[in-house]
């Protein structure tokens, strides 16, 4: 079923829905259904969970907001099926609440959330076997990846997964108790940390970060910290390092912590590069030994090809040869006069020959 809101606002009040004794949901979307909300606004200031999802749900171009007073509430909670947030959708909650979660409860398969072209204003929670992927969206909040003891819930032993392929997380990402975090790209402006007890792990293959905790595994050859205008970022991956360097000022300082032999950095002139990697690298084509530092110089411009230019200038002829300058107006006029004279002479000769025959 598709709910095309056509630009309208759907405000949910009482009575609310849910399991017997816990009627706290604005929407409860049941398993084995496919539901789409789009092109409008969904809001409530009375529900504790605005959308409780067990089906395959898509939020496409819809603004979802939960403004109920209090804490510990959820705008969109996913316990089963897939939840896709795209099309410029926004999800917003008050401080102390969760914008989204992905969780496994009872005998359900667990939630699988995908944040694409969307803005999430609030914290995220991934727990007890839930899955969530950020792929191009923006999250303005903290992310918690973990498992917790929910009474007799058998899913407490299931791993929870949080993945960032691209996009922006304006907050911290904390992983613990069987949580699994994997970041391949994008930016996390806060800290990425992990408590490795009870099987938790966090791995970074690329991206830009406010800071990276000591127990986080970095799966990349190049790592650098870049300080510019009082802000320090940790950047993972050579391509990401060079991309950040395109935006820094000439007073920036780059400290290369890990690098492969011959890794090539491209930095603006004036940037200080410190090589603490233990491998020789290149900065704008210049060698920089391990344990040394240098101020980046502007790359040399390509030299003009003088020999081919001289050849082209004379059309392949010797330097002293005088080519006909067809662009000279006086020479052009001379050739025109000579041509007219030749034609006139031809007519005179023809006329005299005809008279002679008579």
Q: Give whole-number Cα distances, 108 to 12, 130, 155, in Å.
A: 26, 11, 10
Instruction: Give the rounded distance of the alpha carbon of 233 from its chain centre.
Output: 16
pLDDT number for residue 243: 98
* Strand pairing category for 160-169 and 131-140: parallel
Say how far apart CA 242 and CA 340 lie, in whole Å: 69
Q: How many CB atoms lie within 10 A of CB 313?
A: 11
CA distances from 154 to 149, 150, 169, 178 (A): 9, 9, 31, 14
Q: What is the pLDDT along the chain (358 residues), one digit of tens a residue?
A: 999 999 999 999 999 999 888 899 999 999 999 999 999 999 999 999 999 999 999 999 999 999 999 999 999 999 999 999 999 999 999 999 999 999 998 889 999 999 999 999 999 999 999 999 999 999 999 999 999 865 555 656 789 999 999 999 999 999 999 999 999 999 999 999 999 988 899 999 999 999 999 999 999 999 999 999 999 999 999 999 999 999 999 999 999 999 999 999 999 999 999 999 999 999 999 999 999 999 999 876 544 454 444 444 444 443 443 333 434 444 545 444 455 555 455 544 444 444 444 4
pTM reported for the whole predicted model:
0.82
For residue range 217-262, list pLDDT tens digits in order: 999 999 999 999 999 999 999 999 999 999 999 999 999 999 999 9
Picking from 27, 4, 44, 21, the residue whose alpha carbon sits closest to that of residue 83 is 27
Rounded Cα–Cα distance for residues 325 and 332 (Å): 9
Q: Which residues of 18-49 are buried (b: 16+ CB within 10 A; e: fewer)?
A: beeeeebbbbbbeeeeebebbebbbbbebbbb
How far, in Å, CA of 172 to CA of 149, rounded?
23
The C-alpha angle 275, 280, 286, rounded to 5 degrees, equals: 85
Q: Which tokens sit at 105?
A: 């409860």
């Amino acid at each position: 079923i598709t709910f095309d809101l056509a630009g309208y606002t759907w405000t949910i009040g009482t009575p609310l829905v849910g399991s017997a004794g816990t009627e706290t949901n604005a929407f409860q979307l049941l398993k084995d259904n496919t539901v789409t909300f789009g092109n409008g606004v969904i809001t409530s200031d009375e529900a504790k969970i605005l959308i409780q999802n067990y089906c395959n749900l898509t939020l496409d171009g819809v603004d979802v907001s939960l403004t109920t007073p209090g804490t510990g509430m959820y705008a969109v909670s996913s316990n089963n099926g897939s939840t896709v947030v795209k099309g410029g959708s926004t999800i917003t909650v008050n401080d102390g609440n969760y914008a989204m979660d992905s969780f496994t409860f009872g005998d359900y398969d667990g939630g699988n959330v995908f944040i694409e072209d969307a803005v999430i204003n609030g914290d995220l929670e991934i727990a007890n076997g839930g899955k969530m992927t950020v792929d191009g969206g923006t999250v303005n909040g903290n992310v918690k990846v973990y498992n917790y003891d929910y009474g007799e819930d058998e899913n407490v032993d299931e791993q929870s997964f949080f993945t960032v392929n691209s996009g922006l997380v304006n907050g911290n990402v904390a992983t613990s108790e069987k949580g699994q975090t994997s970041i391949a790209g994008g930016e996390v402006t806060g800290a990425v940390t992990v408590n490795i007890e009870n099987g938790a792990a966090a791995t970074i293959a690329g991206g830009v970060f406010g800071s990276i905790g000591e127990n986080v595994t970095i799966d990349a050859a190049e790592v650098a910290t870049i300080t510019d205008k009082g802000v320090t970022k940790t950047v993972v991956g050579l391509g990401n390092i060079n991309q950040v360097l395109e935006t820094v000022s000439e007073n920036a300082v780059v400290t290369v912590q890990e690098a492969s032999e011959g890794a090539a950095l491209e930095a603006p002139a004036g940037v200080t590069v410190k090589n603490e990697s233990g491998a020789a690298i290149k900065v704008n084509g210049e060698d920089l030994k391990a344990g040394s530092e240098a101020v980046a110089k502007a790359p040399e411009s390509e030299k003009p090809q003088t020999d081919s230019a001289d050849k082209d200038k004379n059309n392949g002829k010797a330097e002293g040869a005088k080519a006909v300058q067809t662009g000279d107006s006086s020479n052009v006029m001379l050739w025109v006069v000579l041509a007219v004279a030749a034609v006139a002479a031809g007519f005179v000769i023809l006329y005299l020959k005809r008279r002679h025959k008579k």
